[in-house]
Amino acid sequence: MQIERSIYGLKQASRQWNAELTLKLTDFGFQQSTHDHCLFTKDASDGFMALLVYVDDILVTAPNMALIQAVKDYLHSLFTIKDLGHRFFLVLEIARNSDGLYVAQTKYVQDIVTDIGLLNAKSTSTPFPQGLKLSANCGTLLPDPGKYRRLVGRLLYLGFTRPDISYSVQQLSQFLTRPCEAHWRAAVHVVRYLKGTPTKGLFLPSKSSFELRAYCDADWASCSDSRRSLTGFCIFFGDALISWKTKKQSTILRSTAEAEYKSMAATVCELKWLSYILSDFGISVSLPIQLYCDNQAAMHIMANPVFHERTKHIELDCHVVRDAYKNGFISPSFVRSSVQLADIFTKVLSFKQFLFLLAKLGLAALQPSPTCGGAVKYTSDERGAILSELQHHEEWMLLEMRLILLF
């Protein structure tokens, strides 16, 4: 038997669906971004439109509802679609007022806490215990490693709106193959922290500059097993945090300066990509971009045009950063470690310093707290409506989580 068209469930079906959707969107006048194939833009006389695709979930924005409705009507004429409203997208809860956007995953946090059985447990003040150093051999292996993997997978998904758990989740994700009891206890500690901060999320102010700025940091030889260093960075567009990362470096480096410099190179690459994405929106980024680093030696490596014994093994990273500096793309600035915002992505901090950096990163709460001001305010009825609507999409959210764990 020969199949004449794609069938739902085949491994190439999703590819065929994406190709079909891309064709229909371009027929409508959208242009696919060369920097992110999930992004489509349309610049017409009646206004600029942007459309984002995630498998079969679509987010569209335009200056007025008439343009958005035109896109919805067009897609509805071709496919069976369902409008989920303007408050939810991929388990993200989105609220807005005149001050800006608030993006959180409150219901998702509550589901994690419930599933782990911590509804009556005490919450913790920080996501990772002070002084804890995890390694591959931390004692007794878990009898059911699947529960650890499922929890870490859910925490990774939660990290889309929670940069405060980025470091903790990176530490936990190293041990998915052979998780131990100590790893599970550390994961439960993260959930207990989330129990006390379920409404925290990102606040994106409506009034802000069109300038990028970045902070980069590294924790040298922090991995107990491989002695590889940790890269951490965060990038702001105006006052809004739009990109952050905690990642173990791929090579072993011999000094703090080298680790910091490699982190700087990773940040420069992310800045270049973000500048390309912003150009798709018709936004020209002001240059040079401020790049804040707390290591003077790394900044000297960037400014020194001569390669020598101490830097030749990181020559490619040197070229990446130096070219960006020479061409006026970045302007490095020294910042004290006490105000280095990327510190939160590379190490465990004291409670006081942790709260200080959270406020600087722009994390807000559904109900504003003394440490995280500026959140969008809800009435009790509005909060109830949000949780009620999310409950109706419970089956859809579980399916979404299965997809994340599979891929």
For residues 144-148, average pLDDT: 96
214 and 341 co-located in one domain: yes
Residue 49 lies in a domain: yes
223 and 339 co-located in one domain: yes
What pLDDT was estimated at residue 175? Answer: 95
Residue 2 lies in a domain: no
Residue 292 lies in a domain: yes
pLDDT band at 387 (very low <50, low <70, confident <90, very high): very low
Task: Report the greatest alpha carbon distance in the chain.
Answer: 69
Which residues have CB under 8 Å from 21's CB, separation 6+? Answer: 53
220 and 320 co-located in one domain: yes
What pLDDT was estimated at residue 312? Answer: 63
Residue 351 lies in a domain: no
The mean pLDDT value of the chain amounts to 86
Q: What's 20's domain CATH number?
A: 3.30.310
Q: How many domains does the chain contain in total?
A: 3
Q: Tell me: the pLDDT tens digits for 39-88?
A: 999 998 889 999 999 988 999 999 999 999 999 999 999 999 999 888 88
Q: What's 279's domain CATH number?
A: 3.30.420.10
Torsion sign, CA atoms 38, 43, 44, 47: positive
What is the signed CA dihedral for 162, 164, 169, 170, rounded to 10 degrees? 110
216 and 261 co-located in one domain: yes
197 and 215 co-located in one domain: no
Residue 39 lies in a domain: yes
Residue 90 lies in a domain: no
What is the C-alpha end-to-end distance of the chain, expressed in Å?
A: 30
Select from 54, 83, 112 the last residue of a domain. Answer: 83
Residue 157 lies in a domain: yes
What one-character-per-residue DSSP string does 287-340 give? SSEEEEES-HHHHHHHH-----TTTGGGHHHHHHHHHHHHTTSEEEEE--GGG-
212 and 341 co-located in one domain: yes
Percent of the chain with pLDDT over 70: 86
190 and 222 co-located in one domain: no
226 and 327 co-located in one domain: yes
What pLDDT was estimated at residue 364? Answer: 84
> Which residues form the domain of 68?
13-83
Residue 95 lies in a domain: no
**Model's pTM, two decimal places?**
0.85
What pLDDT was estimated at residue 131? Answer: 87
173 and 223 co-located in one domain: no
317 and 264 co-located in one domain: yes
294 and 182 co-located in one domain: no
Q: Tell me: the pLDDT tens digits for 290-334?
A: 999 999 988 988 887 665 556 666 667 778 898 999 999 999 999
What one-character-per-residue DSSP string does 122-174 give? PP-SSSS-TT----S--SSBPS-HHHHHHHHHHHHHHTTT-GGGHHHHHHHGG
Q: Is the pLDDT of residue 390 over 50?
A: no
What pLDDT was estimated at residue 8? Answer: 76
Percent of the chain with pLDDT over 90: 68
341 and 234 co-located in one domain: yes
| Separation between Cα atoms, residue 329 and residue 332, nearest integer Å | 10
Q: Is the pLDDT of residue 138 over 70?
A: yes
For residues 190-206, average pLDDT: 95
